[in-house]
Amino acid sequence: MILDTAWAVAWMTRAASDIAEQAGELGELDRAIGDGDHGENMNRGFTAVRASLTDVAEDALPADVLKTTAMRLISSVGGAAGPLYGTAFLRAADAVSGRAHLDGDDVLALLDAGLGGIEERGKASPGDKTMVDAWAAAVDAARGAAERDADALEVLRAAARGAQHGAESTDRLLAHKGRASYLGERAVGHRDPGAASTAILLRAAAQAAEA
């Protein structure tokens, strides 16, 4: 399977719907170890993304959709999530710039670039109990699939599974970044909300490709 601009738009549209549906749950996760606004912020951001993609230019490329997503998130999502996700999608756009059709290797490239942007912007690493834990697990799984010459859909499916496992892994971690880091042992047993929203977004990417 080869992915195109229609897939990128479908990804963000589905992500917006899924984030809206699970905004309350994300907020509950954030209230346990943060300030409680992650769900609200993400919903506001992806509502703006969806509105901006209702009339995509005929000659738009997947990278254009990713860049538009990045700019809307940066401008409309409060807290750390806006700059982090915005940087991720900007880097992802750069990774596939000029390409009208994306294969499995391209999917890996955009995910890997997104991870690099989040790590650089947030100064976080796997094990810090952040969205990096979900994103890094997604990239590892995607790389494994790409190395087996899997197509774009299978790479996305692998990434989605990896992201979910990565998000679940944060339950048992001590936090080393953000507000949760001030809680010490009290943060253990709670899932990082950014890791949870990453899992939602990457699952939406795979589901958009399956549709």
How many domains are contained in the chain?
A: 1
Q: What is the CATH number of the domain that holds 89?
A: 1.25.40.340
Q: What burial letters (b/e) apply to 65-97, b meaning 16+ CB within 10 Å?
A: bbbbbbbbbbebbebbbbbbbbbbbbbbbbbbe
26 CA to centre of own chain: 14
Other CB atoms within 10 Å distance of the CB of residue 134: 31
Phi then psi dihedrals of residue 3, to 5 deg: -100, 145
- The residue range of the domain holding 71 is 5-210
Q: pLDDT value at position 66?
A: 98
Q: pLDDT value at position 182?
A: 64
Report the chain (211 residues): mean pLDDT per 10 consecutive residues: 94 98 97 92 97 92 98 90 96 98 98 97 95 98 98 98 98 84 80 97 98 84
